Amino acid sequence: MEFFKESSQTVCAELKTNTDGLTAAEVEKRLLQYGKNGLAEEKKKGIFQVFFEQFKDLLIAILIVAGIISMISGEIESTLVIFAVIILNAVLGTVQHFKAEKSLESLKQLSAPSAKVMRDGVKTEVHSEDLVPGDILILEAGDLITADARIIENYSLKVNESSLTGESEAVEKTNEVISGDKIPLGDRKNMVFSGSLVTYGRAEAVITATGMETELGKIAGLMNRTAQRKTPLQISLDRFSQKLAIIIIGICLVVFGLSLYRQMPVLDALLFAVALAVAAIPEALSSIVTIVLAMGTQKMARENAVMKDLKSVESLGCVSVICSDKTGTLTQNKMTVMEMYAGGDVFTREKLDLNNAAHYMLLKEAILVNDATETIGDPTETALVQMASYFGVDAASYRLQHPRVAELAFDSDRKLMSTLHEIDGENILCTKGALDVLLPRITKIMTQNGIVQADENEKQKIIDINRKFSEKGLRVLCFAIRPFGKCMEVQQKDETEYIFVGLISMMDPPREEAKKAVADAKLGGITTIMITGDHKITAAAIAEQLGIMEPGDMAIEGTELDEMSDQELSEKLPLIRVYARVSPEHKIRIVNMWQQKGKIVSMTGDGVNDAPALKQADIGVAMGITGTEVAKDAASMILTDDNFATIVKAVVNGRGVYENIKNAIQFLLSGNAAGILCVLFTALAGLAMPFMPVHLLFINLLTDSLPAIAIGMEPARKGLLQRPPRDAKESILNQRTLIRIGWQGLLIGIFTMVGYFVGLQTDTAKASTMAFAVLTLARLFHGFNCRGEESLVNLRLKTNPYSIGAFLLGVLLLACVLFIPILKGLFMVAALSSVQCLWIFGLAFFPTLLIQIQKMLCTKK
């Protein structure tokens, strides 16, 4: 005791003298403040800084230049519309930024607001922020530990460290001196850690670390060093934007040069270049993608998967590896009685026979040698009480009928717990513990027909049953009794000459739906990996039950992982299905190794120890019910039902969302390609502009947006799960998609120019109006083509009523522009005759007719 007090005083002295004159309390406050605010971001950006950052995009810069040129040219309407579009995009981007996660602000929420300490020999309750190294913590059952501390006085202390280590079983603590940074947290029996919960007993402990120096703080540091990763769609769209911007600038310069070469006035040449830039830039693309993602998240939320980051939705579609935590994710995070052995029989809880003397005695002893209730206490003892409750036995009432006369508390050295009770007028010593300790002390065995001598054959049978239980990953407790006469005190020497009652095995069982979810994931080409802080044998047994491990697969522990080089791990990675007894650093390494192999990785978990890996993964998935706030903040997706199967549903939805985004982009770009080709053709032919910039902005922002959003509402097609995950490196605009965009854009462009020439027979104003109307209506019809790869005969028109609504609303908007006098002047359109209106409808419909015929022919092939 004195040694620890001297050590703690030394720690305090060093802390006070080695931190630039700050007191220990001031240092602690700085650490805590850093933990609350410093990790997320040292300097938070202001709203104006974020707003102006939205203008860094090269496409936005081109639009700004186009707006300035329109202003110089006197095109006031076009100028106002262009700058309105730019500002709207900046506002949307700013709002999205301030919705981003602040992943570490809830770390402090894990600490209790106060803690009990001994100061100047007096027990005092202080705020957790005022704790300093050297304080003596007083720990009791139910306390949330607020600092790392070394135990100096121990009274059967048990601590649940599942939020840090991933193990569901409470850890028995000792005041034996154990040291070494490389020792796993679960093996540091003389230490308690911040964020853990005292489930049994009491203790005194000297604080060794607080704030960011605790194990919890180190995990926070790991999260700070883990950068957010861009999603495959973000990467693909970023590359596309860069390439498109370069192409637009090049073509605009060529058109401008050609116009000057043909001795066109400079302002007219600039207007041609502006029209081309506006036609080429898909102004609504970012907004449409955001809207489609938002609608996808709403659908997923209804199915218990809440996406925190919109951009992560599409990443689900190419997830190829799910690294799943075991405790609370694949399992139920509670100990449950599985199989028992008594009276010569192996049986499950449901088969326990109260008429069998050995069975009945096993149930009684499970209640009496126990300090828990159904909800409070050591998870192992709680499981025994819940087993009794299954038979309608109230543990508290039964204990009152047979009060505890004396006891020997559980001791990790003895591996036994004994309690003395009066049962049927006789004092009986009831003992539970490890079989290897109890078996040599057993002389008799209880059977249904009475008590018999325990010969070597009977003992070997018990050993064989225990081994079978252990091979299944079950934790086994042995129960025995001893008639105790009139004596009212129990000593350790009395723990002998027992009558064997039975064995009870238990485990944290798999979730019922998890096995099917793992099989579904495998069907979709997704590999499931179990990462846990639990023991390898237990983890491997669970993995086999769930179908995660198959013959030839491997299970390794964290110590084995430490001994592997990156090259060795990379070679064995495809075979390793279970990682046991791992630390947060191990989890990050495993996720990172899969990512280095080009895989999109999802990591699931619920504890603080999972948070760094959740952030490192492409898709971090936290449990909404049992998950800690830190895990939820670090994750991209939260499961509100804690159901592993929900992840598979989310993957299907993610694949569907990606298909819809891809189709929406195809729709927008093929329509823009038609506009570009028309502007290019007239520029090269020396003709008047087919569109004013305000025409193209009307098409891109209004009539195009409606069908694109409707495409985003397309229901997921059957068979998405049966497809392999898409390659994350594959561009969303692959060769096949680009050919389709070019061909469809050319087709729409040809019929648009036919309309232009029909109008040109009257004058250039009529030609521009005809071209504008044909292009707008053709792109509205084209929305039906881009709903999917199949024809409307297979897709069925009514399966997506939003597409019909978008088409009708787009036609109404076009009619308003063409026929309402005020809008006619604003959009600079000429009056049309009924014959010209028929021309517009026929020319606009014909490209869709040809595309549908092509799709039907391809389907037949």
Q: Catalytic residues, which ones?
A: 325
Buried b (16+ CB within 10 A) or exposed e, 505-523: bbbbbbbeebbebbebbee
Query: For the chain, what is the total number of helices (H) and then of strands (E)?
Result: 31, 24
Sequence-distant (6+) residues with CB within 8 A of 730 are none
Kindly provide the residue ranges of all beta strands, DSSP E only, lying in 301-373, ordered along the sequence.
305-307, 319-325, 336-342, 345-348
Helix, strand and coil in the chain, % to nearest 5:
55, 20, 25
End-to-end CA distance of the chain: 85
- Sole residue written with tokens 């009152």: 400
Sequence-distant (6+) residues with CB within 8 A of 259 are 268, 269, 272, 273, 683
CB 476 within 8 A of CB 470: yes
Q: CA angle 799-801-804, nearest 5°? A: 120
The CA distance from 48 to 219, in Å, is 33
Q: CA angle 148-151-157, nearest 5°? A: 100
- Sole residue written with tokens 């907004």: 287
**What sign does the dihedral 179-183-189-195 (CA atoms) show?**
positive
CB atoms within 10 A of CB 374: 14
Token couple for 119: 């100061």
Q: Max Cα separation, the chain?
A: 121
Q: Is 20 exposed, middle or buried (0-12, 13-18, 19+ CB in 10 A)?
A: exposed
3-state secondary structure of 325: strand
Report the phi/psi class of residue 211: left, alpha or beta, with left for phi > 0 and alpha for psi in -120 to 50: left
3-state secondary structure of 150: strand
For 116, list phi and psi in degrees, rounded to 5: -95, 125
Kindly provide the residue ranges of all beta strands, DSSP E only, lying in 599-708, ordered along the sequence.
600-605, 619-623, 637-639
One-letter amino acid for residue 823 of the chain = L
The CA distance from 861 to 845, in Å, is 25
**CA distances in angstroms from 678 to 67, 675, 683, 753, 767, listed in the order given:** 21, 5, 9, 7, 12
Token couple for 393: 């036995």
